[in-house]
Structure 1
Amino acid sequence: MALLLHIDTATSYAGVCISRDQDVIAIRESAEQKNHAAFLQPAIEQMLQETGIVMQDLDAVSVAAGPGSYTGLRVGLASAKGICYAAGKPLIPVNTLQIIAAAAMHSPEAAGREEQLLYCPMIDARRMEVFAAVYNHLLEEVVPPAAFILNNESFSSLLAEKQVLFSGDGHFKFKEISGSSNAIFTDITHSVRNLALIAGNRFGLQQFADLAYSEPFYIKEFFDPAAR
């Protein structure tokens, strides 16, 4: 049975959980963005004490690797790599946009037609800019992650052919300016549980990162949502 630790501090939300064969057995969450560093280690220690698990029991550690907050990404990846080095465990980095897209697939707006939609998670990057990507229902890239300056023609070629479900804290900007009937919007928020499901699948496929060379996926050199 795979026993995994999951860490997500990439956005204003922070969450950690432990899963056994993709079933979450302990979880801690925080919405205090400026306290991610203070939240993380005590939360992990509390979960280990609660479950009686020690680091050596883990099979791997997953982390939301970006894009997102520069500071949050550094906090999450540094902690994940430290645990992996200390316990001799593999690392599973997951793109933050994939995690947000996975949450959108479980939204009321997607219910019953998950395979028919495309999914466009958006992370607010100040002004009219977002970090975004487009995925199908298998979380395969249709449009790779990038920084986008939004206008009313954004994603027009996709929207001309298919319905796209927009999510994440950056989708509100596009909702205000998009006039496409194929643009659908959901307010559902992601959690570390979504990371756990993706990482569990990747563990089964032995999709691990090179621990020494793993870095946050910033897209841009620096992003701090507190500086808006």
Structure 2
Amino acid sequence: MSLILSIETSSDNCSVALRQENSLLASELVNQPHAHAAQLAPLIQTVLKKAGIKAASLNAVAVSSGPGSYTGLRIGTSTAKGICVSLNIPLIAVPTLQIIAREAFDKFKPDGILCPMIDARRMEVYCQTFNSHLQPTSQVTAKVIDENAFAELLAANKVFFFGNGSEKCKEVIKNTNAFFLPDVLPNAITLGYMALEKYQAGEFEDVVNFAPFYLKEFVAKKSQSLL
């Protein structure tokens, strides 16, 4: 039976879950921005301890593959790869926007176009659209939001926006076909459920060469004290 450890670090949330086939054995979540480096290892230890499982028993590790927080994705991926290499087990990756879409679908059962959004900078979001069967209907893109955003799509469809990037869009997108779903964030429980499907299908990543999908390169800010 598959025993999969799931690590989700693409947003301010840092979560870990352990699943054996269709059974969730344990999970932990911390909502603390910029705390992934300090919190991830203790969360993994706590989840394994709660489940009474030793790390050596794991069959695979799953991570969200992005886009999302550059630092969070990097920390989650490096931790997952380290475990996979040390135990010689496969790595599974699930795109973050697909995880968020699955979260919204399971929680709200929306009947229309689903549009998960990840906050980028200013009025920009990373987003992708899905139909009501969770099949992608567009590519992942970085989109600047204004009053005309998604106008063509909204003209003929109900569109459900959610994710941490959707909050800043509420006051801008006023179309009557636009609906905003609250409190939909990626988490390791949903990631683990989706990872099980990939495990059963043998869809694994190259542990050595795998890298998260950042969509945009990280841009470091200059310290104000140096200006």
Same structural fold, with TM-score higher than 0.5 when normalized by the shorter chain: yes
Alignment of 1:1-228 (within 5 A): 1-108=1-108, 110=109, 114=110, 116-190=111-185, 191-222=187-218
> What letter matches 2:40 in structure 1?
L
> What letter matches 1:171 in structure 2?
S
Structure 2, gaps ≥5 residues long: none
CA–CA distance in 1 between the matches of 2:22 and 2:142?
31
**3-state SS, counterpart of residue 33 of structure 1:** coil
> What letter matches 1:56 in structure 2?
A
> What letter matches 2:217 in structure 1?
E
RMSD of aligned Cα (Å): 1.7
> What letter matches 2:22 in structure 1?
Q
> What letter matches 1:2 in structure 2?
S
> What letter matches 2:178 in structure 1?
A
Deviations 1:159-211 (A, max 9, x none): 22221111011112222111222211101223221111211111121111111
CA–CA distance in 1 between the matches of 2:132 and 2:5?
25
Runs of 4+ in 1 over 4 A off after TM superposition: none
Deviations 1:125-164 (A, max 9, x none): 1211011111123432211111101112212222222211
TM-score, structure 2 normalization: 0.91
Q: Which has the larger displacement, 11-20 or 197-206? A: 197-206
**3-state SS, counterpart of residue 195 of structure 1:** helix
CA–CA distance in 1 between the matches of 2:200 and 2:112?
26
CA–CA distance in 1 between the matches of 2:17 and 2:97?
19
